[in-house]
Chain A
Amino acid sequence: MTTVEQAEYGATNALAQRRRRRRHRRGADWWRHVVGIVMAIFVLFPLAYILSAAFNGEPTLVSARLIPEHITLDNFRQILSTHPPDPNAPKADYLRWYANSIIIPGSAAILSVLLGSLAAYAFSRFRFKGRRIGMLGLLLIQMFPQFLALVAIYVILLETGDVFHFLGLNTRTALILVYLGGAMGVNTWLLKGFFDTIPAELDESARVDGATPSQVFWGIVIPLATPVLAVVALISYIFTLNEFVIASAILQTSDHQTLAVGLQGYIADKYAQSWGSFAAGVVLAAIPPTLLFLALQRFIVEGLTSGSVKG
């Protein structure tokens, strides 16, 4: 931004503030507070409820109060300990699920950023036959929800598993691969849009300076695209973390399952629902995405907006 623009921006900003203050005096913006409070309750209520359920000794949801009568860590002991307080409850591999839910979405996020940016770089910088068709194809395929292909994916994995054991049903690698394919379209479009805003002169300058295409990619484009890479990684991570349909079809034994699939087991049994364990599991499961979000926050605000406006 030039100084003049900054000055102008400052001026309009001051004007807007003055207008806002005037309106405030007339009390015309009370409804904003109402909307804000309603939204806050809407967002915070489930959070409060699940926290309450996690620390509540009562096994049922219906009889429990929002503020528990006695706070207990039994639910956490139940899912984490090898000698749980209630030995009759169904055996669960919570820690394994937890590990799986870091490994699978983590690798899916890293690999999809890598694959997506390679594809996006080609679409953004090279002119080749089928470029337009390729872009449109990616978009079109993306229009169909991935679980429409569930039957096909299931059969493919069933067959490949005979040849490559590590790519068969009930393996984590297979699930990661399926997620990678599913996320290609959106990621590539998002990244291509950002790469297009990096001036091609930078690439050309680097090439004349003696860089190979891969040196241009790693040395110039990737460092400049970190904000959007962070966004894509986070989106992929959150999506794969929450994904249930495909994961439950592919991961069949308990020790390979993710949190989304495993935790569902606590509440699937109609006569033995353990909402307490479920709630405790969910609270712990929220820790990694929260940490990741905090770590990448700096990039995300930049990344979500910077692709939209040039300069």
Chain B
Amino acid sequence: MAEVVFANVDKVFPNGVQAVFDLSLEAHDGEFLVLVGPSGCGKTTALRMVAGLEEITDGELSIGGRVVNDLTPKERDVAMVFQNYALYPHMSVAENIAFGLRLRKESKDLIAERVEWAGRLLDLTPYLNRRPKELSGGQRQRVAMGRAIVRHPQAFLMDEPLSNLDAKLRVQMRADISKLQREIGTTTIYVTHDQVEAMTMGDRVAVMSEGRLQQVDAPQRLYDNPANLFVAGFIGTPPMNLLEARTASDNGNVSVTLAEQRLALSEETLARYPGVRRAEGRSVVVGLRSDDLHTAAARPDLPTMTARLELLEALGSQSVAYFRVDARAIRTEHPVDEEADAESADAEGVTATRPNLAVSMPAADAVGLRIGSDVELGVDVAKAHVFDADSGAPLR
């Protein structure tokens, strides 16, 4: 068991594309570190560099204090679980699990004992003599896990291991993998594009975008204190509402003008985002979690704004209401698409009417809301986030 440390690691592919920029990151000994980001953000490349499947262009990578830049995958002693499981189709489950041990010329007794142990741990004992193609997706997934754990490697590397499973099984395996990792205590780097997986499984979560590390922290702190617009928009379901606004100050009372409606910022917000005072008259981005917005009827104590209801999704105990306000929404996940959207919006006027404000509320509050009507919303200003519109940095 060991820590995995990236020190200023770059990755440039032979075709000139740079996938990872100056990555510095540490997975502590025994930690479950999740790398999360949209597709193409460099997270899988980073993982493959740890495994030794991609060369490191620049910087230093060490596992357990040993620099491994030039070591073969074999010498690095890590185990990897692939997205498509990559089970050897011509071998039985037991042979698949034993493959790594056999290559290391372990004794027959030890191999048999370890395979038996892994089979028991992963509920695979009845299937040990079957071929992978005779197994279900979840069972194959567990075989892939078994192949990783039997070797007692320095670290587990997992590349979107749950993305081929159906939603229900994914939730179950999520819990199973977390539990297994805690029991075995091996350092784990887990790559996913699903921020729910990241939040629920990781001891810490590293958010990446366009080859750069955006923020690394415990899930809750990532949610509460996003380091930039990208993290704010990426973490959380539904995503944080990010709307362009202007700041104004009047006798020391700072307010933002959002969709031509004025919201006074509370002292709490200003204490967390003191930079807002300096940004007077400038364009900013206000971030509001869907949980921090309520119907004015449910929370009469909060300052209000008006928005038009466009869509209502009932989730049982909760409802998510999608409103439209007259402010530009910032989408961080697909900046390119957003530009294209804006263009087509000018042309056709379609996306201009797309809802840009999501509100989660108890189902009871949603009763009586009518699609197309204007609704008074209470804004929990104390929990608002404020970012610089140009740099995307929080105005701290």
Question: Using a CB–CB distance below 8 Å, which chain A residues touch chain B?
Answer: 127, 199, 201-202, 204-212, 215, 220, 223-224
Check B14–A205 contact: CB distance below 8 A. Answer: no
With most chain B CB atoms within 10 A of its CB, the pick from A199, A201, A205, A212 is: A205
Check B88–A206 contact: CB distance below 8 A. Answer: yes
For B74, the closest partner residue in chain A by CB is: A210
Q: Which residue of A207, A220, A223 is within 8 Å of B53 (Cβ)?
A: A207
Q: Which residue of B52, B72, B73, B89 is within 8 Å of A224 (Cβ)?
A: B89
B67-86 vs A: 1/0 string, CB under 8 Å? 00000111000111011101
Secondary structure class of chain A's binding surface, majority of residues: helix
Sorting the interface of chain B by its residue count into under 10, 10 to 19, 20 to 34 or 35 or more gives 20 to 34
Check A205–B90 contact: CB distance below 8 A. Answer: no
For A226, the closest partner residue in chain B by CB is: B90
Which residues of chain A are near B99, meaning CB under 8 Å? 206, 209
Residues of chain B from 143 to 158 with CB closer than 8 A to chain A in the complex: 147, 151, 157
Tell me whether B100 is interfacial, beta carbon within 8 Å: yes
Give, as a whole number of angstroms, the nearest-CB distance from A195 to chain B. Answer: 14
Tell me whether B340 is interfacial, beta carbon within 8 Å: no
Give, as a whole number of angstroms, the nearest-CB distance from A200 to chain B. Answer: 9
Tell me whether B51 is interfacial, beta carbon within 8 Å: yes
Sampled A-B contacts (10; CB under 8 Å): A127-B14, A202-B88, A204-B51, A204-B82, A208-B79, A208-B80, A209-B100, A210-B100, A210-B151, A224-B90
Check B74–A207 contact: CB distance below 8 A. Answer: yes
Check A209–B147 contact: CB distance below 8 A. Answer: yes
Tell me whether B167 is interfacial, beta carbon within 8 Å: no
Q: Which residue of A199, A201, A215, A223 is within 8 Å of B103 (Cβ)?
A: A215
Check A211–B103 contact: CB distance below 8 A. Answer: yes
Give, as a whole number of angstroms, the nearest-CB distance from A287 to chain B. Answer: 32
Q: Which residue of B52, B78, B79, B82 is within 8 Å of A201 (Cβ)?
A: B82
Tell me whether B334 is interfacial, beta carbon within 8 Å: no
Q: Which residue of B73, B83, B104, B151 is within 8 Å of A207 (Cβ)?
A: B73
Check A210–B104 contact: CB distance below 8 A. Answer: yes
Give, as a whole number of angstroms, the nearest-CB distance from B148 to chain A. Answer: 9
Check B53–A208 contact: CB distance below 8 A. Answer: yes
Which residues of chain B are near A224, meaning CB under 8 Å? 89-90
Which residues of chain A are near B78, meaning CB under 8 Å? 208
**In the bound complex, CA of A31 to CA of B113 (Å):** 66
Check B53–A204 contact: CB distance below 8 A. Answer: yes
Check A209–B90 contact: CB distance below 8 A. Answer: no
B350-363 vs A: 1/0 string, CB under 8 Å? 00000000000000
Which residues of chain A are near B89, meaning CB under 8 Å? 224
Which residues of chain A are near B14, meaning CB under 8 Å? 127
Give, as a whole number of angstroms, the nearest-CB distance from B53 to chain A. Answer: 5
Which residues of chain B are near A206, meaning CB under 8 Å? 88, 99
**In the bound complex, CA of A223 to CA of B95 (Å):** 14
**In the bound complex, CA of A210 to CA of B75 (Å):** 8
**In the bound complex, CA of A202 to CA of B87 (Å):** 7
**In the bound complex, CA of A205 to CA of B220 (Å):** 34
For A220, the closest partner residue in chain B by CB is: B88
Give, as a whole number of angstroms, the nearest-CB distance from A220 to chain B. Answer: 6
Which residues of chain B are near A207, meaning CB under 8 Å? 52-53, 72-74
Which residues of chain B are near A201, meaning CB under 8 Å? 82-84, 86
B255-289 vs A: 1/0 string, CB under 8 Å? 00000000000000000000000000000000000
Which residues of chain A are near B90, meaning CB under 8 Å? 223-224
**In the bound complex, CA of A68 to CA of B72 (Å):** 72
Residues of chain B from 128 to 154 with CB closer than 8 A to chain A in the complex: 147, 151
Which residues of chain B are near A220, meaning CB under 8 Å? 88
Which residues of chain A are near B53, meaning CB under 8 Å? 204, 207-208
B154-193 vs A: 1/0 string, CB under 8 Å? 0001000000000000000000000000000000000000
